[in-house]
Amino acid sequence: MKKVFKRPESLTDKPMHYCPGCTHGIVHRLVAEALDELNIRQDTIGVAPVGCAVFAYDYFNCDMQEAAHGRAPAVATGIKRVHPDKVVFTYQGDGDLASIGAAEIVHAANRGEKITAIFINNAIYGMTGGQMAPTTLLDQVTATSPYGRKAETEGYPIRISEMLSTLEGAAYIERVSVHDIKHINHAKKAIRKAFEYQLQGRGFTMVEVLSTCPTNWGLTPLESLKWLKDNMIPYYPLGVKREVE
Amino acid sequence: MKGNEAIAEAAIQAGCRYFFGYPITPQNEIPAYMAKRLPQVGGTFIQAESEISAINMVYGAAGAGARVMTSSSSPGISLKQEGISYIAGAELPCLIVNIVRGGPGLGGIQPAQSDYFQAVKGGGHGDYRLVVLAPSTIQEVVDLVQEGFDIADRYRNPVMILGDGMLGQMMEPVEFGKRKPAELPPKEWATAGWKGDRPRAVINSLFIDPQALEDHVKKIYKKYKAIRINETRAECFNCEDAEIIVAAYGTTARIVRSVIEIASKEGIKVGLIRPITLWPFPAETIRSWAEKDHVKAVLTVEMSMGQMAEDVTLAVGGRKPSLFYGRTGGMVPAPLEILAEIKKIREGALK
C-alpha cells in the first residue's frame, strides 16, 4: 500500500505532551515540514523556550539548545555567530518573547541576526496555569486578571510583529493563524519563506502564529478556534508586516 | 601591559574567538580590546543589549562548540548569574572575568574583593560550582586565562577569573605563551548540525523527573571532586618559620608581600598563604600550616568585610586563632595598617 501521510523527518517519534486541542502540535509539524521540504534538517539548530514548548528539544529531530526564559534570541545569536552556515531558529511563546524576553527579541531583530523566530501568540501563559500575558486581550479573564484585563491598570495588548517591523534589521515578519485549514496552509508557506530568507542571508525573520489555549481559555478546542477568529484576528490583523526585497 | 588588556590578549592567544559583553567600569578595556582584535583574527565581538543577553550569547556559542568568554564587573556579574547557573547546569565551558568593584548595589568603581561569596558560593540558583581563579600579577593573569579556558573545556564547566579594579588597571611586563595549552578531546556534544553520525546534540539543564535531576547533579559533583583533587592551587611564601600566617589573594596578597618585608626588618616572622584557586579552596594547605607549632595565629586580609575569612576559619578548624582584617567599599589597606594588626595579634598571642 502506498504511504500518503507520514511524520516529517524533522520530528522525533516522541509523543507530545500538549493539551487536547492545543495548536502547538500543528505549528511543530509546520516547522518540521518546512525543514524537510528545504532539506535543511541536518544543518539546522533549534532553540527551545521556557513555557509550554519547553520540551521542543525532544520533538524537533535536529540539534537543539534549551534557553532560559526569554533568552532564546540571545542563545540563537551565539549559535549563529559560531555557525553562520547553519539555519538557526527559536520557538517562543508570548510570555517568553513579548514579556521577559522583550529586550532579547528587539535587539536580535535590530542587529539583523540571520535567525528565524517562530512566535506563538495565544494571549496567555499556558505552562504556569493561565496568567495574563502582554498579548492578553482587553477584558480577557486570566488567573492574574480575574476581572478582565483593564487598559488603565494592565496596559494594552502588544502587537509584537508591528513593533518589530519598524526595525531596519528585520527582513521578513508576518502574522499568520492556524484556526482553519486555509490559514494553516498559509502559515506553512510563511514559515518556509522565513527559512528561505534566512538561507539567503537577508536578515532577521519572524512568523507570529495566532494560536489557541483551550485549557487556560476554559473553552473546548472548537470554541477556542472560533474565539481566536472572532477576538484575536480583529486586534492582531494577519499579513506581512515587513518584507525587504 | 595593562591588566585588562592582558586578559583580552591572553584570551585571543588561547584561541578564544567569541566575546559577548556589555559596558561597565572598571573592565571596559577588555571589550574595547576585543572589539578591535577579534575581527583581525576572524572572531566575533558583540556588544549585547545587557549582561543577561551577553551571558546567554555565551551559552549559545559554548553550546555550539566555541571557545568563548565574557567579562563584567560586580553589578553586571549579578545580572549574569541566571545564565551562569544554566551554563553550569548544561555543562558548558566558558570563561567569565569579574573585575570586582565595591558593593552592594551600585556601590562604587574602586577595587574590591567583596564578590568572593558570589563567585565561590554560587551566585546563581541550584547545586553547582564555578572554578574561581585569582591572579595577583599581570603575568599570572595571562597564564591563568590560558589555564582557565583549558580547565573549562576539560571539565565542561564555567571558570571565573576574579580580579579587581587595581589588577585591571595596573601595568606590568608580560610574556605570552608561557603556559602551554592542554590537549583536549573534540566537542562531540556540541550543536553543530546533525548528520546522524553521533547522538543528537541537546544542550539542556531541564530534568523534570527529580530522580533524573538528582542523577545529573551527582554526575556533575563527581566532576567537582576531580577538580578539587587536580586543580586546587595555592602559593605559600615565607611560611617555614612564620609566627603569623596571613591568608590573602589577588591584589591584597601583593600588599601582604610588602608587609612581610617590613615586618622581617623588625624581626617579626610573617608568612603568606595565597589561594590561587578560590574554588576549589586550598583548605588542606591552610590546615597543614595552622597545625605547625611555630604558627601562633592566622590572619585573613581582604578588601571586603570578611568573606574568604569564613573559609579560612573553617580550614584552620580551631587549631589556632583565626582573625580578620579588611577594608571595603573600594578602600585598599596600606601595608602599615596590616602590620599594626599583626603586631596587635602577636602581642596577644605571645602574652
* Residue B179: predicted pLDDT: 86
Residues B28, B81, single domain; the answer is: yes
Residues B253, B327, single domain; the answer is: yes
Residues B295, B195, single domain; the answer is: no
Q: How many CB pairs (< 8 A) connect A and B?
A: 126
For the stretch B101-134, pLDDT in tens is 999 999 999 999 999 999 999 899 999 999 999 9
Residues B163, B254, single domain; the answer is: no
Closest Cα in chain A, distance from residue B196 (Å): 8
Q: What is the mean pLDDT of residues A6-30?
A: 97
The contacts of residue B247 (CB under 8 Å, 6+ apart) are: B272, B273, B274, B275, B286, B298, B299, B300, B301, B308, B309, B312
d(CA B109, CA B92): 30
DSSP structure class, residue B172 = -
Domain ends where: B231, B256, B281? B231
- CA distance to A59, B171, B235, per residue, from A38 (Å): 19, 55, 59
* Beta strands in B37-149, from DSSP E residues, in sequence order: 44-47, 68-72, 94-100, 131-133
Closest Cα in chain A, distance from residue B346 (Å): 53
- Contact: B18, A78; criterion CB under 8 Å: yes
Closest partner CB to A83 (pick from B46, B62, B193): B193
Give the residue numbers in B contacting A (CB under 8 Å), as ranges.
18, 20, 44, 46, 48-50, 52-54, 56-66, 68, 82-83, 86, 90, 191-196, 200-206
B-facing residues of A in 58-97 (CB < 8 A) are 61-68, 71, 74-83, 86
The CATH number of residue B129's host domain is 3.40.50.970
Domain ends where: B179, B207, B231? B231
- Contact: B59, A67; criterion CB under 8 Å: yes
In terms of phi and psi (left: phi > 0; alpha: psi -120 to 50; beta: otherwise), the region of A151 is alpha
For the stretch A156-178, pLDDT in tens is 999 999 999 999 999 999 999 99
* Residue A1: predicted pLDDT: 83
* Residue A97: predicted pLDDT: 98
- CA distance to A78, A119, B160, B331, B336, per residue, from B340 (Å): 51, 64, 33, 17, 6
Residues B125, B32, single domain; the answer is: yes
- Name chain B contacts of A82, Cβ cutoff 8 Å: 18, 44, 60-61, 64-66
The CATH number of residue B252's host domain is 3.40.50.920
- Name chain B contacts of A61, Cβ cutoff 8 Å: 200
Closest Cα in chain B, distance from residue A123 (Å): 25
* Residue A245: predicted pLDDT: 81
- Contact: A71, B196; criterion CB under 8 Å: no
Residues B181, B131, single domain; the answer is: yes
Residues with pLDDT less than 70, chain B = 349-351
Residues B327, B199, single domain; the answer is: no
Note down the domain range covering B9: 3-231
Residues B250, B220, single domain; the answer is: no
Domain ends where: B180, B207, B231? B231
Task: Say which amino acid occupies B339.
Answer: L
* Residue B7: predicted pLDDT: 98
- Contact: B53, A106; criterion CB under 8 Å: no
Residues B164, B252, single domain; the answer is: no
- Contact: B200, A83; criterion CB under 8 Å: no
Residues B65, B180, single domain; the answer is: yes
Residues B194, B55, single domain; the answer is: yes
- Contact: B194, A42; criterion CB under 8 Å: yes
Cis peptide before B104 (omega within 30 of 0): yes
Contact present, B314 and B264 (Cβ < 8 Å): no
The contacts of residue B276 (CB under 8 Å, 6+ apart) are: B133, B134, B135, B140, B144, B233, B234, B235, B249, B282
Cis peptide before B280 (omega within 30 of 0): yes
Contact present, A132 and A206 (Cβ < 8 Å): no
Closest partner CB to B64 (pick from A78, A106, A111): A78
The structural domains of chain A, ordered by start, are 24-243 (3.40.50.970)
* Residue B351: predicted pLDDT: 56
- Per DSSP bridges, beta strands A44-48 and B322-326 are unpaired
Has this prediction a pTM greater than 0.95?
Answer: yes
Residues B148, B278, single domain; the answer is: no
Number of compact structural domains in chain B: 2
Closest Cα in chain A, distance from residue B341 (Å): 47
d(CA A32, CA A87): 13
DSSP structure class, residue B263 = H
